[in-house]
Amino acid sequence: MKEVNVLVTGAAGQIGYALLTRLASGETFGEDTLVNLNLVEVPQVVSRLEGSKMELEDCGFNTLGKVKNFSDINEASGDIDWALLVGSIPRGITINGKKIEERADLLKINGGIFTEQGKAIGENAKKDAKILVVGNPANTNALIGSTHGNNSSQTWMAMTALDANRAKAQVAKKCDVSISDIKKMTIWGNHSPTMYPDLDNAEINNKSVSSLINNSAWIENDFLQNVQQRGKAIIDARGASSATSAANAAIDTVKATLTETPEKDWFSAAIMSDGSYNVPEGLIFGFPLRSNSKGEVSIVKNLPISDYAQEKIDITTKELLEEKNDIGDLL
């Protein structure tokens, strides 16, 4: 069997727990691939990973290879093909007696984490490794990590598939179609409430979703609000942030990258801007993407952007530029 080495940080958390069986089962990398998992947690809770390891063994997956637990990112990142960076410091946590609420503080605390992880992955992972940042603030965490990874042959991405899936779910209910009928969903910009889900370029049966709905009030007031604020709504409803859906979106992103994108579709993730769509270079920004047969990811070019969409893209661009400015000393 082929083998793939996968690093998961924050592996003892809810998202990590939801990820592990789907990585190990053959669903993600195929039934012909043995999956070796390097699970990482902070020293205070790394012992919990032993329970996860035992559960994975007890699943009896033919595709499960070696499972190793780490608290040292340098040891864990050796020779990896994929890194799913789930662990991050959430807003509202208390550190050294101070509750972390301000964005600048949150960015800098996570900046230290992703500086270390970026260096370790850049130095120790395979030269063509792919890194998906799930832990928020995902775009800027990915920017910090990729900067300190300093390895242009590796691909750093931040997850926007959760937003894309949320957008598809709202459209499916509105148009009474299945999720699989919805193609070309793009999330522009930041994985935050400023992100912009694009219905002009999304399609159902080769027709623009926005033209099929033909209701700008619903799009602006109901759809955008529901998608942009969905994370908060889930926290309010269940008392905890998204876990199952976040893990599912991470799996979706890995699978989309591994397989050649169908001709009449694309997927959404955030990667380093090359200046496309007038987005400044040096930002990890949500774009429509395609993957080729070698797993190389590229931005879909020359899509039409309405004035309304451009206004929304400008808002999320501004937020990412502000975040970059807040962590300027870390770059």
Q: What is the pLDDT of residues 97-117, one digit of tens each?
A: 777 767 778 888 899 999 999
- Do 87 and 169 lie in a common domain? no
Cα three-residue angle 304-310-313, rounded to 5 degrees: 115
The closest alpha carbon to 127, from 105, 151, 102, belongs to: 151
Helical (H) or strand (E) element with 7:
strand 2-9
The closest alpha carbon to 160, from 194, 118, 117, 189, belongs to: 189
pLDDT score recorded for residue 101: 65
Phi (first) and psi of residue 82, to 5 degrees: -135, 140
- Do 31 and 115 lie in a common domain? yes
Percent of the chain with pLDDT over 70: 99
- Do 107 and 207 lie in a common domain? no
Question: Does residue 92 have a pLDDT over 80?
Answer: no
- Do 302 and 216 lie in a common domain? yes
- Do 152 and 184 lie in a common domain? no
Q: Are 67 and 37 in contact (CB under 8 A)?
A: yes
Q: Cα dist. 154→63, 118, 261, 280 in Å?
A: 25, 11, 20, 21
- Do 19 and 38 lie in a common domain? yes
State how far Cα 233 lies from the chain centre.
20
pLDDT digits over 52-74, tens only? 999 999 999 999 999 999 999 99
Among residues 122, 140, 158, the one where a domain terminates is 158
pLDDT digits over 266-300, tens only? 999 999 999 999 999 999 999 999 999 999 999 99
Those residues with Cβ within 8 angstroms of residue 122's Cβ, 6 or more apart along the chain or in another chain:
148, 149, 150, 151, 154
Q: Are 260 and 223 in contact (CB under 8 A)?
A: no
- Do 45 and 79 lie in a common domain? yes
Cα–Cα distance between 185 and 123 in angstroms, integer? 35
Find the CATH number of the domain harbouring 11.
3.40.50.720
- Do 168 and 316 lie in a common domain? yes
Domain total of the chain: 2
Strand 186-188 and strand 297-299: pairing?
unpaired
- Do 220 and 326 lie in a common domain? yes
Among residues 116, 142, 158, the one where a domain terminates is 158
148 is catalytic: no
* Burial tier of 2 (Cβ tally within 10 Å: 0-12, 13-18, 19+): exposed
Catalytic residue among 130, 168, 184, 191: 191
- Do 115 and 186 lie in a common domain? no
Place of tokens 């910009």: 189
Residue 41: how many other CB atoms lie within 10 Å: 23
Question: Does residue 91 have a pLDDT over 80?
Answer: no
Q: Are 57 and 70 in contact (CB under 8 A)?
A: no
Mean pLDDT, range 111-140, rounded to an integer: 97
Mean per-residue pLDDT over the chain, rounded: 95
Q: Which residues span the domain enclosing 121? A: 2-158
Among residues 141, 158, 175, the one where a domain terminates is 158
Question: Does residue 158 have a pLDDT over 80?
Answer: yes
- Do 47 and 90 lie in a common domain? yes
